[in-house]
Amino acid sequence: MDFYQNLIRPIFFSMDAEEAHDLVMSALEIGSHFPALVRLSAGKAVPSSPRTVAGITFPNPVGLAAGMDKNGLALPAWEALGFGFIEVGTITACAQPGNPKPRMFRFPQQQALINRLGFNNEGAEAVATRLEALHAEGRWPRIPVGLNIGKSKVTPAEKAHEDYLASFRRLHDLGDYFVINVSSPNTPGLRDLQSTEALGRIIRTLRDWEGASRRPLFVKVAPDLAEEDLVAIVQLAESEELAGLIATNTTLDHSAIPKDRDQTGGLSGLPVRARSLAALQTIRNQTKLPVIACGGISDAVSARERLDAGADLLQVYTSFIYQGPALLRRLAQR
């Protein structure tokens, strides 16, 4: 019997989606002080299958996507559950509450979520302080930690590069890799930063400050981009010598959701599978840069299709909410 799906998930799914998320994060934050117990509760260990991407060694290719642990609350717990890497965030330079509630919605029949959270997080300073304390206490995980940064809502688009730099500068020494998030649909105008002019300015601002001590830098793209726009981003990533791309964020195509139940926001889970795969294929046809696949990965078949299409690593979020820790073993044993 799958303990999570039969006993734990029904309790969480009886609650409001965001309230359940907050409860899970509180439990995992406590569990981070007792990783052995978390490991025991997760059941069988996830098989080891190390791979090196962008100069970083990952113990297995299945990572936690950004959005689940926005503030870096539970890093040791995620490692104990069996993830091969963790992506914290999205983190903004300014602390912000996000959009009004309710703002997270489940669609069990479609194995999907819609969220319009709006980069709710404690801000770069608070997250950096927490991560520094984790280092000082000797509790830093042994798996890679990525830090996903986005634009503060209060910052005008013409100053976006300065906003990203503020987060990058404060967090620089704490992440194994960094992700520029310009693809969330829930911050007004953010996706406009996917234009090569705006994105190029952000990248060059970070690199100019960084100098020679460069961290691997990825860009996370939307699944809704026109092919020519996605190709332009790939070309920019190559010219700026980025570490790679993440394909993809949530989609604004809600055709899989019944109209009478639809909500504003980004759709994740099974309905984004085809779009995310298509974006991955477009990227791989253009470049040999590493690609982290994200979106609609829910079983061994969808994991294998991404790897066969050229993905170097995988990330999950919505499918983990629906399936729990057993999902990681299914994907790693693909």
The residues that are catalytic are 184
Give the whole-angstrom CA distance, residue 14 versus residue 31. Answer: 23
Q: Would you say 130 and 72 are in contact if contact means Cβ atoms under 8 Å apart?
A: yes
Q: How far is CA 103 from CA 50, 140, 164, 185, 186, in A?
A: 37, 31, 25, 13, 10
Q: Which amino acid is at 128?
A: A
Give the whole-angstrom CA distance, residue 4 versus residue 59. Answer: 24
Q: Which residues pair with 290 in a beta bridge?
A: none
Q: How far is CA 38 from CA 30, 31, 75, 172, in A?
A: 10, 6, 12, 29
Decide: residue 233, CB within 10 A, 0-12 exposed, 13-18 middle, 19+ buried: buried
Token duo for residue 264: 């504003």
